[in-house]
Amino acid sequence: MDFVPELSHLFNVLPKDRQTCLFTATLTPSIENVANAPPRPGKQKPFIHQMSEKVETVSTLKQSYILVPSHVRESYLLHFLCNPPESTLHLRHGPPDPSTKKKQSKPKKKESAEDEAPEQPPPTIIFCTRPRTAAYLTYLLKTLSIRSTALHSRLTQRERLTSLSLFRSSIVPVLISTDVGARGLDIEDVAIVINWDLPDEPEEYTHRVGRTARAGKGGVAVSFVTERDEERVLKIEDRIGVQLEELILPENKVLEKLNIVSTAKRLANMELHDSDFGKREKTNRLKALSDHNPTASLWKSPAGIQFSSSRLTAIWTSVCKITISQSQHSNGGSPICEDPSDSNVLVSISTTFYPGANLHTLPPDLALLSSDSVFFYVHSHMIFAASDNNFRSLVPSSPSKKQASNMVIHVPELSPVLNIILHAIYDMSCNHYSPSFETLSTAVNQLPLYGTPPKTRITPNTPLHALLLSHAPLFPLDVYTLAARHDMYELAVSASPHLLSFQLSNLTDEMAEAIGPKYLRRMFFLHIGRSDALKRPPHPHAPTPFCDFTDQKTLTRAWALASAYLAWDARPAMVAQCAFNPDLSTGFLESALAPLAEHLSCDLCKQGLKDRIKNLIVQWSVVKRRPSYTHI
């Protein structure tokens, strides 16, 4: 806002004999028009002094960054707040929590170390780009017993002033703010500024970190740099003329609180979901759904349609008779099913395996009925070809004429599980049903019971192999364990790159027993070999007049950022957007690392990067096929 109308009004009502000084952090065109306007009679043209446009940070500000995987930022944040730099410890305050009411003192039980509330950090401002993130972090720190308050655009003016008052008076040591607090705030003794996520513009970074180290005092600015922040870091360093120092936190100490932080994240997301932040998004989703055909979602379920046909009367009659013979009446005394002679009976039928589906040149001759009463119409010869035990001895190999005419086989599986089993037998993709990994795992584990070894049906070129692999970023250890249980070597190898972020020391006895010694040994070699291959940066070349060892550190850090993205980012949202390849193939490695050359001006550095990528691809493939761990 330029306040041009207000300024014009003030100039007209103020006394003529005066001196007017205007200060602005941003010189906009409208302000320049006011300054360049013809002066009033008897007045001189205003003097304008414009400072250098170069954006700088003060020398008393210590700026650093923490290279952290995006999905464990919360653990690093908790550790840093509980263990701030020594230079800021003297600014710690310890007032009582205002939410705690005074009560008569009573003897307290001795609390364990994990139950003790953490010591509060020195005055800290955490900047993030979105109001929703600010609210989430506030709930998170509250759950972790760190006093904090929020400042963002979704709050009323009264709520903002209350938050600032709580922070200024040191009642709460942490202010979580969006960029609305990056300018204009002058709060004494702010010790630390944390960039939860980096801003898009370098100028905004300068305004953020300018909230500390004011008036000649010292301060600390720490930025959390994730795997996709390389460009932002380079822009910031180029603009401020300072290279940020890497701050390395002890990983073993950070991960000690991982379980506590994970629980706090879930609770924070639950509170956020119950707050006003989710109302607008929920309304928009409901509105979008109402614009679509309400019956479209039915086709996503194995029991997706209600099929009415007189052709099914005979089969349905036999089903009803079987049911009635087993239990004549329900608890209320009425028959369990309607009159089977009714020719307009409604039954549930699979949206894939139904009578008119073109799954084969021959019509289906077998009806399978799941435990939740969904019909699947299949071909008996397909079942016999895939099963070595007549589908758990449920399908007779030589049925009588009476059996063949109305053959309904009751299968003791829920329809989602039976649906996946049949898709595996027919070698068809069931991806459009979006089955959960738990359902997939149950179906795969049930395949041997129906005489269908998973190893023979789930090979690299089958749809079920691809579907299982798509869950590897979110459930890497579960997919690997499932593959190990059924000796699906190719699936285990393809899932193993997603285990690079898993600490082998966290393996429990139950996990090791489920994996088995053979695949446990393979996992160790795959983990160690690929981790070493990925972490090694390009070898530096001999210094030249145009590129010395200091200049080559840029490539080393860029490689570290890119490898962190490849090794640790496993968010399902990235998989859904197809921005993260479910299989870390050599082609994907090359496409992720090759763009680093765009930021290099030295030909020797470019060649070194090219050679390193080539060697990595070779090492990646060699690790996969190394004979030393194909035998125990």
Q: pLDDT for 280-305, tens place per residue? A: 655 665 555 455 433 333 333 344 44
Higher pLDDT, 123 or 104: 123
Q: Are 146 and 269 in contact (CB under 8 A)?
A: no
Percent of the chain with pLDDT over 70: 76
Other CB atoms within a 10 A radius of the CB of residue 248 amount to: 9
Least confident of 144-158, 435-449, 542-556: 542-556
Would the pLDDT of 570 be above 60?
no
- The pLDDT assigned to 62 comes to 94
- The pLDDT assigned to 110 comes to 46
Of 238, 231, 161, the residue nearest 206 (C-alpha): 238
Query: Are 389 and 332 found together in one domain?
Result: yes
Query: Are 306 and 188 found together in one domain?
Result: no
Strands 408-410 and 124-127: unpaired
What is the spatial distance between Cα 575 and Cα 560, in angstroms, rounded to a whole number? Answer: 22
Flag whether 111 is in a domain: no
Least confident of 34-38, 199-203, 213-217, 616-620: 616-620
Last residue of a domain, one of 425, 452, 479: 452
Q: How far is CA 372 from the centre of its chain?
A: 34
Average pLDDT in the chain: 78
- The pLDDT assigned to 8 comes to 78
Query: Are 45 and 67 found together in one domain?
Result: no
- The pLDDT assigned to 361 comes to 87
Amino acid found at 161? L
- The pLDDT assigned to 26 comes to 67
Percent of the chain with pLDDT over 90: 31
- The pLDDT assigned to 391 comes to 94
- The pLDDT assigned to 584 comes to 60
Last residue of a domain, one of 247, 282, 317: 282
Query: Are 326 and 416 found together in one domain?
Result: yes
Query: Are 514 and 601 found together in one domain?
Result: yes
Average pLDDT over residues 13-23: 83
Would the pLDDT of 100 be above 60?
no
- The pLDDT assigned to 284 comes to 60
What is the spatial distance between Cα 605 and Cα 577, in angstroms, rounded to a whole number? Answer: 33
Say which CATH number the domain at 257 has. Answer: 3.40.50.300
- The pLDDT assigned to 446 comes to 96
Token reading at 113: 């170390």
Residue range of the domain that includes 390:
299-452
Q: Are 488 and 458 in contact (CB under 8 A)?
A: yes
Query: Are 525 and 419 found together in one domain?
Result: no
- The pLDDT assigned to 271 comes to 86
Higher pLDDT, 554 or 294: 554
What is the spatial distance between Cα 608 and Cα 539, in angstroms, rounded to a whole number? Answer: 7
What is the spatial distance between Cα 629 and Cα 525, in angstroms, rounded to a whole number? Answer: 8
Would the pLDDT of 429 be above 70?
yes
What is the spatial distance between Cα 369 and Cα 412, in angstroms, rounded to a whole number? Answer: 9
Flag whether 105 is in a domain: no
Would the pLDDT of 456 be above 90?
yes
Q: Which residues are bridge partners to 224 per DSSP?
A: 66
Query: Are 437 and 553 found together in one domain?
Result: no
- Please list, in sequence order, all residues whose beta carbon lies within 8 angstroms of the beta carbon of residue 234, skipping any fewer than 6 positions away: 554, 599
Would the pLDDT of 550 be above 60?
yes
Flag whether 462 is in a domain: no
Q: Are 451 and 549 in contact (CB under 8 A)?
A: no
Query: Are 421 and 528 found together in one domain?
Result: no
Would the pLDDT of 92 be above 50?
yes
Flag whether 112 is in a domain: no
395: left (phi over 0), alpha (psi -120 to 50) or beta: beta
207: helix, coil or strand?
helix
Would the pLDDT of 589 be above 50?
yes
Say which CATH number the domain at 361 has. Answer: 3.30.710.10
Asked whether the whole model's pTM tops 0.85, one would answer no
Give 454's pLDDT tier (boundaries 50, 70, 90): very high
Amino acid found at 134? A
Would the pLDDT of 499 be above 50?
yes
Cα 338 to Cα 71, 211, 505: the distances in Å are 54, 74, 59
Least confident of 161-170, 304-313, 438-447, 565-574: 304-313
- The pLDDT assigned to 367 comes to 92
What is the spatial distance between Cα 62 and Cα 72, in angstroms, rounded to a whole number? Answer: 24
Would the pLDDT of 621 be above 60?
no
Query: Are 136 and 229 found together in one domain?
Result: yes
Last residue of a domain, one of 15, 32, 51: 51
Would the pLDDT of 310 be above 80?
no
Instruction: Quick: pLDDT tens for 127-147.
Output: 999 999 999 999 999 999 999
Other CB atoms within a 10 A radius of the CB of residue 559 amount to: 21
Give 331's pLDDT tier (boundaries 50, 70, 90): very low
Which range, 233-237, 494-498, 504-508, 536-540, has the best average confidence (pLDDT)? 233-237
What is the spatial distance between Cα 140 and Cα 125, in angstroms, rounded to a whole number? Answer: 15
Flag whether 109 is in a domain: no
> What is the DSSP secondary structure assignment for residue 86, as one 8-state letter?
G
Query: Are 479 and 401 found together in one domain?
Result: no
Q: Are 108 and 145 in contact (CB under 8 A)?
A: no
Phi, psi of 181 (to 5 degrees): -100, 10
Average pLDDT over residues 116-132: 88
Give 279's pLDDT tier (boundaries 50, 70, 90): low
Flag whether 104 is in a domain: no
Flag whether 100 is in a domain: no
Query: Are 601 and 568 found together in one domain?
Result: yes
**What is the total count of domains within the chain?**
4
Higher pLDDT, 367 or 104: 367
Flag whether 106 is in a domain: no
Average pLDDT over residues 150-156: 90
Least confident of 21-30, 318-327, 415-424, 619-628: 318-327
Q: Are 192 and 66 in contact (CB under 8 A)?
A: no
Query: Are 575 and 556 found together in one domain?
Result: yes
- The pLDDT assigned to 528 comes to 73
Average pLDDT over residues 465-493: 91
